[in-house]
Amino acid sequence: MNLTKIKQYSINELLVIVIYKFFYKISLFVEKLNNTIAKEKYLNRNSWNISNSTIPAFSEFYSRCNHVNKHRIICEANEILDGKITVFGVKVNFDYNKDWLKDPIGSKFWHRNTFFAKAKTKQKGLSDVKYVLEVNKFNHLVRVALAYYYTHENKYIEYIEKSIQGYIRCVPYERSVVNRIIMDLGFRSINLIQISLLCWQSDVFKNKALPEILSLLHSFERQMQKFSSPRWFKTGNGVNHNTGEMTSLIITQLWLSLFGTKNYKKHLNKEFFYLHDVLYRTIAPSGAYLEQSANYARVVLEFLIIFDIFLNELYQKDLKTKFYFSKQYKERLLKYLQDLSNEGNLPNFGDNDNARVLWAFISDLNNYSYLGINPNTNADYNNSRGVINKYLDGSQWIFKSNDDNKIWMYTRVGKFAFLKEGVGAHVHNDILALLLSIKGKEVFIDRGTSFYNSDYNYIINDRKTAAHNTISIEGRELADILPVGYRNYPISEIIDDPNYIFSGIVKYNDIIHNRMIKHNNESICITDKIQSTTGHKNGQLNYLLAENLSPLKISDNQIQLFDKKDKIFLNISFKGVSSVNIVETNYYPNYAESKKTKSIQCSFSIKNEKALTTQIEIL
């Protein structure tokens, strides 16, 4: 047990952890024994009733598929058939006969026969494990299935059939790192079901590929049901993994019920309870997602969208459990993401692994209309300057201006995270960090997320206070960054002050930081007041610039920003700083996708207290 986490638990909670961990270890031991001796009995190879099976209309599913850019999908599918797939923005060679456990960035293979619970997520000579996990989600096969749905060409069915056969040969049941994370089984299961729906009109598919897919789903369902996180981990608040696991498990059980005699009803009430519990804990009454990540809020919404589609088709008449509240949570989350969006785009705060559930509905990864986010939705402006959304139960603040400058601002303020100290969360040390867009153009952006598993230094660099658009003081952190989670949370709150559209404060270590923002026609003024209780210190004010902006330093305290047409866009001046520098750096718009940009870094010193001003003039 990691001793850095013990401080969050009471004696009773520790007792629960010990008891469940003991029985979990026993279950794993028995499972490994069964897996070694008699794994074939769990694969259920030839007992599916396919010829006489019918499926409901799934009209919403097919309607959403029909709104995807068909030409783009067919081009992508043909490239896949030629042996090229894209993983986190990198195009790699892929052989469906042998490459399922190959590191797509290198040439080495992940261990094949390691029992899933013992599989290591880091191996010397191999890149971040998420690359091979992404390949094994079958995302690319959904794109191929879409191409068949649009064209009815059998070459796509043949590729899917041979890919499934290659996967079965390469990845043993409950073995290797790609079976370690239960939610990844959920992604894989949902994708296999989407593939089945898209290829349903093909008799070749139903005769050859579908029986293999159903056998895989049967084995995935067994592992998800037996080792799901909510079943064994009872003291955490629940995270997106719990949502993903429960929605995927229920969908898989309902789908398998169409083809076999097994009745899953005895499991469903408990699984609905687990699902409701995690949604209650992670989606605030306002709709704010409490893991403090726009990406993970989107992932959870995608799980709930596909969940609703399947429940409407397969479970509506049988719904007796009082624990099903997916629609209200889905609606809350959608409204929150709509408010959060800027011209239809979502900001990149918090962790971002770029996972997707709804591959059958997506044309462009940067277009979120498939979620129901409408860039043309008019805000209900609540003052003359714009609309302010205070998601205070989610520690977030959003501003959209009511003028042609289309100013969009976002920051986090309030409780550092809604999960207990030490529990894994997707939050960063970014309280009071400002994200800014003007006239539909990003200005101040978030660094994003590089890698989760390659090195602890990557986690530090992505999450640290100095990596965000705020004040950093001599390496002091808002909260201590653990390999998984945080401890020593700061104190933070929003302050009601009629002189500012925003005022918030954070207290950590020996630092008090108050950030205030004014918006007046063609200008934005950001005032930072910092207090130190332990004497002289050096600090830095950071702003990470959008890639398409070119900064030019025109004086010791003034910078002009030019857009990609070399037109002067903004004039930014600083007061209270000793130097202003423009530094080249990297950012990650998507997981592991590194791009070059520039950062404004302003140095200053503080003895007891200091006031800094950032004045932004819109030109």
Given a contact cutoff of 8 angstroms between Cβ atoms, the answer to whether 487 and 420 are in contact is no
Backbone angles phi, psi at 455, to 5 degrees: -165, 145
Residue-level pLDDT at 319:
53
Tell me the residue type at 253: Q
Burial of 332 from C-beta contacts in 10 A (0-12 / 13-18 / 19+) = buried
Instruction: Output the six-digit token pair for 422.
Output: 């030490």
pLDDT along the chain (619 residues), means of 10: 50 76 86 79 71 86 95 96 94 96 92 94 91 97 98 97 96 94 97 98 94 94 93 76 95 91 82 91 92 94 95 70 69 94 92 94 91 73 70 93 91 87 82 95 95 82 94 93 86 93 94 95 94 88 96 93 87 96 95 94 93 95
Report the C-alpha dihedral over residues 589, 591, 594, 598, rounded to 10 degrees: 40
Max CA distance (Å), the chain: 79
CA distance 219 to 33: 16
CA distance 254 to 258: 7
Burial of 366 from C-beta contacts in 10 A (0-12 / 13-18 / 19+) = exposed
Neighbours of 118 (CB within 10 A): 12
CA distance 368 to 379: 18
Matching residue, tokens 């349903």? 200
Residue-level pLDDT at 219:
93
Residue-level pLDDT at 4:
42
- Which alpha helices (H) appear in 283-325, and where do they start and end? 294-314
Instruction: Output the six-digit token pair for 471.
Output: 């004040």
- Which alpha helices (H) appear in 52-127, and where do they start and end? 59-65, 70-81
Half-sphere exposure of 2 (CA within 13 A, CB side): 13
CA distance 461 to 346: 22
CA distance 153 to 202: 10
Given a contact cutoff of 8 angstroms between Cβ atoms, the answer to whether 347 and 289 are in contact is no
Backbone angles phi, psi at 88, to 5 degrees: 50, 45
Backbone angles phi, psi at 559, to 5 degrees: -135, 140
CA distance 5 to 366: 37
Residue-level pLDDT at 2:
42
Residue-level pLDDT at 511:
93
Half-sphere exposure of 423 (CA within 13 A, CB side): 18
Residue-level pLDDT at 3:
38
Q: Decide: helix, strand or coil at residue 32.
A: helix
CA distance 146 to 152: 10
Residue-level pLDDT at 1:
37
Pairing of strands 84-87, 90-93: antiparallel
Burial of 523 from C-beta contacts in 10 A (0-12 / 13-18 / 19+) = middle
